[in-house]
């Protein structure tokens, strides 16, 4: 997919049912929707756990979903989509599916067709969400919906800039506008589709206010088209206070900017950066993410596995990751105490930064055009973007506690007070005569994958154990 989006052809490669038949199928499907599952968990204060999973062949996908449900009982399941389908290269996906389906890095849903998706949906108790990374997901959405899927991840910012080089913001925003409009139409017919917004972005040193600003803009676009259920996700950065604060900020942000009839559920993606290679360190990081999700009052967490650093995890490792994460739903696991004043201060500053970033965009009547112009001018930006439509002039960095700050905010419209605070928090690091930007960024990116005990003592990393006490 280059500098255009494809016309939506409902007959390629499989004829889709009528919208009316799709609505009737979902209404008669004997299982809870994702929205119903989220709402029930939120009311009870429980943390839902969802794995990532996606393989090419139909029978292998069915086996994987059934294995995970049997061995780990996830609350929501995933169909993770392959790279060809994400980029609307359906012919290539079809060729690989026929010749070597094991070479696909996910499930080629459009090529399999909606009837195969219904087969998967009816095999398992848990509702299913589509996770992908497509800047133009219109046909994927229609095929998923026809298969009875009631949750669809992505947006015109989060599923373009981190993944694609040559897709204009205007194209992806309009493609995702179609998806949101369809969700609005479905809501009027009694079908609430959960729209999860991908705050993870590039997953490389993303300041919380960048993540929340991007998802807020996507959320505002979605609700204008009639979306009634939003899952706003945030990726674990590694600093327990900052991560808890970011999750708590989501609900406050929603109450300020979004209509009261739109339900919003905070979601945590466990750490998406370079993972520790050793099993006990990886499992400790998974547990830390679960604690953050619970303390931050997230409704759902997307879990990782101890094999994350090694490649695609086995089903067994995936199941164990679910159980490790679910530990925090036990009252016995409430052993981590966090200073509420520190959390509140972080919440305050995260929300202030969000307000400063989005304010120039919200001044415009045409939100879609304002977002496009914002990226052109650099007043909207994300670090380390793959896209030539983002300037990537924002340079983040970890402070001495491990929290992610703005070393260089680029052209973001941050106030002098906000800029001064970030500079002061990084002064201990950047003020050293031996400071090397390259070494510092490398170390920050590889934060959990290669820290030695001496590194941790020097930078004062927050851990689940008391500082200086290590097993």
Which tens digits make up the pLDDT trace of 185-214? 999 999 999 999 999 999 999 999 999 999
Residue 44's domain comprises 19-333
Element (H, E) at 315: helix 315-326
Of 41, 113, 116, the closest CA to residue 329 belongs to 41
Whether the CB-CB separation of 138 and 81 falls below 8 Å is answered with no
CA distances from 76 to 42, 73, 335, 421 (A): 14, 9, 27, 40
Q: What is the mean pLDDT of residues 396-401?
A: 96
| Bridge partner residues of 264 (DSSP) | 230
In contact, 299 and 265? CB cutoff 8 Å: yes
124-182, pLDDT tens digit by residue? Answer: 999 999 999 999 999 999 999 999 999 999 999 999 999 999 999 999 999 999 999 99
**CATH code (residue 117):** 3.20.20.240
Q: Would residue 437 count as lying in a domain?
A: no
Per annotation, catalytic residue among 86, 182, 326, 405:
86
Active-site residue flag, 177: no
In a domain, 469, yes or no: no
Q: Among residues 37, 47, 51, 45, which one has the least CA distance to residue 326? A: 47
CB atoms within 10 A of CB 322: 21
Query: pLDDT tens-digit profile of 33-84?
Result: 999 999 999 999 999 999 999 999 999 999 999 999 999 999 999 999 999 9
Strand partners, 79: 130
Whole-number Cα distances in Å, 265 to 72, 131, 158: 23, 17, 17
Q: Is the residue at 361 inside a domain?
A: no
239, pLDDT greater than 90: yes
Q: Are strands 300-302 and 48-50 parallel, antiparallel or unpaired?
A: parallel
Structure confidence by residue, pLDDT tens digits, 212-238: 999 999 999 999 999 999 999 999 999
Which one from 129, 153, 263, 346 is the annotated catalytic residue?
153
The predicted pLDDT at position 314 comes to 95
- In degrees, rounded to 5, the angle at the alpha carbon of residue 232 between the alpha carbons of residues 120 and 399 is 125
Query: Quick check: is 233 in a domain?
Result: yes
465, pLDDT greater than 50:
no
In a domain, 357, yes or no: no
Per-residue pLDDT tens over the stretch 353-387: 999 999 999 999 999 999 999 999 999 999 999 99
The pLDDT value recorded for residue 471 is: 24
What pLDDT digit, counting tens, does each position of 409-447 carry? Answer: 999 999 999 999 999 999 988 888 889 999 999 999 999
Secondary structure class of 32 (helix, strand, coil): coil
How many domains are there within the chain?
1
- Does any domain span residue 241? yes
φ, ψ (nearest 5 deg) of residue 192:
-95, 110
Give dist(CA 282, CA 307) in Å, integer: 8
Q: Is the pTM of this model over 0.75?
A: yes
Q: Does 110 map to a domain?
A: yes
User: Could you confirm whether 86 is annotated as catalytic?
Assistant: yes
């Amino acid at each position: 997919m280059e500098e255009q989006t494809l016309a939506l052809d409902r007959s390629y490669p499989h004829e889709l049912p009528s919208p009316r038949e799709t609505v009737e199928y979902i209404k008669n499907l004997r299982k809870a929707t994702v929205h119903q599952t989220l709402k029930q968990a939120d009311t009870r204060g429980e943390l839902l756990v969802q794995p990532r999973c996606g393989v090419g062949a139909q029978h292998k996908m069915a086996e994987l979903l059934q294995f995970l449900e049997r061995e780990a009982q996830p609350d929501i399941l995933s169909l993770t989509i392959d790279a060809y389908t994400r980029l609307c290269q359906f012919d290539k996906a079809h060729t690989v599916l026929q010749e070597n389906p094991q070479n696909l890095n996910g499930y080629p849903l459009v090529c399999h067709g909606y009837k195969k998706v219904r087969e998967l949906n009816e095999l398992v108790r848990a509702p299913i969400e589509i996770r992908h990374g497509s800047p133009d997901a219109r046909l994927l959405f229609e095929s998923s919906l026809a298969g009875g899927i009631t949750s669809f991840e992505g947006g015109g910012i989060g599923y373009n800039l981190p993944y694609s080089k040559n897709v204009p913001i205007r194209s992806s925003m309009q493609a995702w506008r179609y998806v949101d409009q369809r969700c609005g139409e479905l809501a009027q017919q009694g079908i609430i589709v959960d729209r999860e917004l991908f705050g993870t972005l590039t997953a490389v040193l993303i300041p919380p206010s960048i993540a929340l600003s991007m998802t807020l803009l996507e959320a505002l676009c979605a609700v204008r088209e009639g979306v009634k259920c939003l899952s706003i996700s945030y990726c674990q950065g590694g600093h327990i206070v900052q991560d808890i604060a970011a999750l708590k900020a989501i609900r406050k942000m929603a109450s300020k900017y979004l209509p009261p009839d739109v339900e919003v559920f905070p979601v945590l993606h466990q750490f998406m950066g370079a993972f520790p290679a050793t099993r006990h360190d990886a499992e400790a990081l998974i547990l830390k993410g679960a604690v953050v999700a619970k303390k931050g009052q997230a409704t759902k967490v997307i879990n990782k596995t101890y094999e994350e650093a090694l490649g695609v995890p086995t089903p067994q490792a995936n199941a164990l990751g679910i159980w490790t994460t679910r530990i925090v739903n036990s009252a016995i696991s409430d052993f981590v105490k966090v200073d509420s004043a520190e959390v509140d201060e972080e919440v305050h500053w995260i929300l202030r930064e969000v307000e400063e970033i989005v304010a120039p965009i919200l001044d415009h009547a045409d939100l879609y055009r304002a977002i496009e112009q914002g990226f052109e001018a650099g007043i909207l930006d994300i670090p380390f973007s793959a896209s030539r439509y983002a300037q990537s002039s924002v340079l983040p960095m970890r402070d001495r506690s491990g929290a992610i700050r703005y070393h260089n905010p680029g052209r973001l419209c941050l106030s002098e007070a906000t800029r001064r605070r970030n500079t002061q928090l990084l002064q201990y690091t950047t003020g050293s005569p031996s400071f090397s930007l390259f070494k510092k960024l490398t170390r920050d990116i590889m934060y959990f994958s290669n820290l030695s005990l001496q590194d941790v003592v020097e930078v004062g990393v927050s851990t689940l154990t008391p500082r200086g006490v290590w097993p």
